[in-house]
Amino acid sequence: MSKVIVVQVIYNNRQWIEPVFTAIFNQTFKDFKVVVVIAGNEDGSKELLLEKFPNVEVIDPGYNIGFAKGHNLVFQKYPADCYQLVNPDMIMEPNYIEEMLKAFEDEKVGGATGKLYRIANSEKRIESREEKILDTTGVVIKKSGRAFDRGQNEVDKGQYDTLLSVDAVSGAGAMYRRIALEAVSHRKNLVPEPVEGLNFDPFDLSSRADKSARYGAGKLSDQNFEFFDEDFHSYWEDVDLSWRMNNKGFKNVFVPKAVGYHARTAGSSKNGYLDVVGFIKHHRALPLRIRQLNYKNHILMYIKNSKWFYPQFFIREFFMFLYILLFETTTLKILPILFKQIPIIWEKRKYFYETR
């Protein structure tokens, strides 16, 4: 059994294959195996990967399996002490895995993230300190349900150089402990009967109608359990997993000596809510698919994990809905799926927090 499995889900990321996987195989820590799941291959990513890095093990389900289910397949099939996630557009410094593993000497640590810098393309070199724009140093979760990457868009001046616990870790470069994944798993298919006549399903989100009995904690080899929530498909599933770990008593930590470079598809606008025009421009520039998944999943995440339903959540959701109604009405097409999945998520909440 490898000590570490390096996991990546690829979705048409040909331009990143060589720099990302060269960085993986240049790691100072060597006891790892690399497993890649192909979620999209219209650009020939798979063929290039097999040509340049033949020692990578590839799983190709033949469809866009999504971030959550793609990683779950690897967690289930490949036993390891820890799993190092590497986004298709994330380049690690050579000591990244080595430094991350040091954090797991604390048995209470379930998840960790390194210090990721923002880059625009696969040419990752950052020449000066002033160019070191942070992408994430961990995730902060507010009572309102707002979750954001700590330090994102800030110039790194050493303000985030301390190893500490954080609310959540970004899945872009996270490492997870195997026993923590098992401890926070929940059973699939805890759902009511499917809604009749509901055909809007643009993201291949599977309808689950199995009213399975509730069982105890799952093992990574048991495909009836999920670790990342597959009803999320992509986006916010990493924060959901971290939140479950926190609620189960595990820690999520930020490891400043583990450095990586990430070209994020969706992130916060530069000045956040303070720059209203900038926020609107930034948000409307995101692909519709991302906006819809972001909106749906952040609500599901809060319903599933928050121990209390704070007034701040309802106030924020009111203004967010008003904003979408005025500026991004196409995002509202995700509402049928959201309403369909709320009972599913509520059952998962009850399963995890009432029966575990």
> Cα(218)–Cα(277) distance, rounded to whole angstroms?
47
What does pTM read for this prediction?
A: 0.86
Q: Tell me: the pLDDT tens digits for 325-345?
A: 988 899 999 999 999 999 999
> Cα(59)–Cα(39) distance, rounded to whole angstroms?
9
The pLDDT of residue 244: 96
Residue 30 token pair: 């060597």
At residue 226's C-alpha, the angle toward residues 223 and 227, to 5°, is: 130
Whether residue 144 is predicted with pLDDT greater than 70 in this model: the reply is yes
Nearest residue to 313 (alpha-carbon basis) of 141, 147, 140, 144: 144
Q: Among all chains, which residue has been given the structure tokens 């960790």?
A: 112
Exposure string of 194-224, with b = 16+ CB inside 10 Å and e = fewer, is: eeeeeeeeeeebeebeeeeeeeeebebeeee
Strand partners, 83: 5, 176
Letter for the amino acid at 46? K
Confidence of residue 290 (pLDDT cuts 50, 70, 90): confident
- Per-residue pLDDT, averaged over 194-216, amounts to 35
The pLDDT of residue 16: 94
Query: What angle do the packed helices 288-305 and 311-327 form, to 10 degrees?
Result: 170
Confidence of residue 125 (pLDDT cuts 50, 70, 90): low
In the chain the domains, ranked by start, together with CATH numbers, are 1-356 (3.90.550.10)
Whether residue 276 is predicted with pLDDT greater than 60 in this model: the reply is no
Whether residue 178 is predicted with pLDDT greater than 80 in this model: the reply is yes
The pLDDT of residue 221: 63
The conformation of residue 212, written as its DSSP 8-state character, comes to P
Q: How many CA atoms lie within 13 A of 309 on its CB side?
A: 8
Q: Tell me: the pLDDT tens digits for 65-80?
A: 888 999 999 999 999 9
Q: In a 3-state reduction of DSSP, which class is residue 65?
A: coil
Whether residue 355 is predicted with pLDDT greater than 70 in this model: the reply is no
Q: In a 3-state reduction of DSSP, which class is residue 38?
A: strand
Distance from chain centroid for Cα 37: 15
The torsion angle over the Cα atoms of residues 229, 231, 232 and 238, rounded to 10 degrees, is 0
